[in-house]
Structure 1
Amino acid sequence: MFDTKTATALQSIPVSNNTISRRIEDIASDIVMQVIEQIKLTKMFALQLDESTDVSGEAQVIVFVRYQDCSDIRENILFCQNLQSRTTGEELFKVIDKFFAEGGILWDWCLSVCSDGAAALTGKNNGLMAWIRKKNPKVKWLHCIIHRQALASKRMNAHLHETLNEAVKVINFIKARPLNSRMFKLLCQEMGSEHQHLLLHTEVRWLSRGKILNRLFELRQEVHMFLLEQKSAFSSLFENQDWVCRLAYLADIFDKLNDLNLSMQGFRTDELSLNSKILRTIVKLITSTQSVIIREHLTKLRDELVSYFPSIMNQDRTQDWIQNPFVEDVASSSGLSDKLTENLIELASDRALELKFQNVTVSQFWLEVKGEYKELSEIAMSALLPFGSTYLCEVSFSAMSLIKTKHRNRLSVQNDLIIAVSDIEPRFDNILAKKQPQVSH
């Protein structure tokens, strides 16, 4: 098609089909290698992990690691890999254990694992934690705090569960249909409502159901009028005072759980708490039957939360010294040995360290005093390292949905995701030193 001169010019252009992917792989490998090198230096880390299915139906497991460097605690993605077969605890463990073996990471260095409450992760016999504890019995498991809304749905009274499902159907009836959504917006504008939209319900686990139900309760009059105009059977729900009462309670309890306050915010099981604005508006509607239902759910919810978050009821003050070692008499309740208690008292009496403590984070402070108070620093860091949630995994799955779309569903997303979510600067000098500037095509 071309002459010899043009053909020669075209041959000089790099046309490799994997040049970019090879460079992405090199950068991702260098980022992971930096994390592994730091873990080997400190020999102490915590994990958070989660598993999800991407747009092509492949099961992807993402693992984040929390470790300490010379100045502070760092968080970074450790790896993302797809599972070839089942997503059982054994298969998850094999993937993680293989990565640890190749990277020279020991399970003895792992302090804790944070995940949701899925059986594949928490099962006593075949769950991931069971396999991990065979390697290191001292590993602690922490339930992700951003999944506590799901706990409020467990062991729910049949009437409350039915109310929750009916509320979701009402929201979807309006939001899932564009015409209904537009007509409802116009109705809210005519009535001068504070809000003009309902929040669309979704099964994303960390999304707050409290905001969804709260908005529905605030717009209950507008929704009722709209359903009457549409001659929908759902309109009868808002004419039932018991149903409205249960809706208000669900909106309130889910919203309280969203405030990261797991002490039940003053809720007691021996008497009905009416301290919230929502419940005060319907106090006259609460019948003895509804009161019994609410008390029953609060009792079960408290037991459920305590089983997953023991610190709710456990008023253990032995670790208060970690948060602030300069509080008066904090050493007396530390539960440390006599020698370490003396070291803590000595540290607390150092005015220079107290001034330093006011200008740095807690983790930075304990790392800075590690040279002089090594044992206290190690105990403090072991308490500060564990993850409290799987938020980073959830964010990574969102990033994955942007990288691997239906138009790029054959993409191997592992290396791309590492670069997208990591904040570690690649060592380009090392990468270029190991590679030729331009390899043969």
Structure 2
Amino acid sequence: MSVEQANNWDAIVIGGGAAGLFCAGVAGQLGQKILVLDHAEVLGEKIRISGGGRCNFTNMNSTPANFLSMNPNFVKSALSRYKASDFIELVKSYNIPFHEKHKGQLFCDVSAKQIIDLLFEECKKGGVVIKNPVTVTGIKKINQEDANQASYPWSVETSTGIEKAKAIVMATGGLPVPAIGATDYALDVAKQFNMPVVNVRPALVPLSFTSDEFANLSELSGLSVPVKVKSGTKSQRYGTCQFDEDLLLTHKGLSGPAILQGSSYWHEGEAIHINWFNDVDIDELFDDDANRLKLTENILGAVLPQRLAKAFAEQKNLMGRKWAEVGKKDRQALKDFLTNWAVKPAGTLGWKKAEVMLGGVDTKALDGQTMMSKDNPGLYFIGECVDVTGHLGGHNFQWAWASGFVCAHSLARK
């Protein structure tokens, strides 16, 4: 094989993360000659740190309703062709022990490294060539009229030379966790080929508050409590949501699953609404005659952490007051305060703390059955760089597997 032939590929996958490696492995096993390029010294770092080091690799209940996109229907084709059950079977075939943690979320029993090893082994089975660390410095589409180049119309310039391919797959993820080499290179490539991009921002990210807005709650850092969180407005990009999850008080603001979920729908300047009583019947609690001689903070403390109950009693000037001494108006004010606590975040904690990127390559420019650009044949975008963002709990990994799968099968058909 000549050097020139060695540098000719059926497809070059740029990005060696979850979506890129999975797509490469599937395509390779379908008979495609695949090259994966990545700038990182070590591949799969985002997988390694996910799920507290145990990788929430999918969600048994993943459906299109678990994803945000300007086009909510876009995910349907890929998710129906590669389901959570399909990836679960793959994990089982590698004898990787796993467990359900919460609401269909599946985690490795031992380590996220097992998922990384699975992906590398799938690539090995498909004869995939992986080159890293390699910097991609440019991507060009060769003039199709040049008969000598027509078979390999895509040219990728790298720090180690030029590679040619029949197709390019952009799988470089998004901007979260810059410390491990996160990049928005896929968005630059999309713009280079005149494809629309939906503005990006951090998602599944903690929210920060000013000292005035957060009052005395900042002193309760570390407390976790189940709540209902409402976020977003009907007029905004993705509408509204409500999540029943745990909220975590931090020294900078609010975190925990409830807030991370709500952050994807929140927009600057808007309030989020928290029901601290979650599923507790507050009317029954407040109207119970047995509580007449109890202190307000102790009544609240029956259903909330004691320190939080005292903080709320202080905020409403009810600390140390017996319930019989609290008038009807003050009781109603306390009820409204605790079931619809409206507060405006100052912002998010940014890309360093975000789990995913919201926005990305506009889905109206992509074929949902193949992930290929409608106007640039042979150019694909998969995974996080696309304007598809999953809820917390394994859905984003499922999107990586599903979008990679349909892309791989499209490559094989070509």
Q: Scaled by the length of structure 2, what TM-score is found? A: 0.33
Bigger-Rg structure (1/2): 1
Structure with the largest fraction of strand: 2
Higher helix share: 1
**TM-score under structure 1 length normalisation:** 0.31
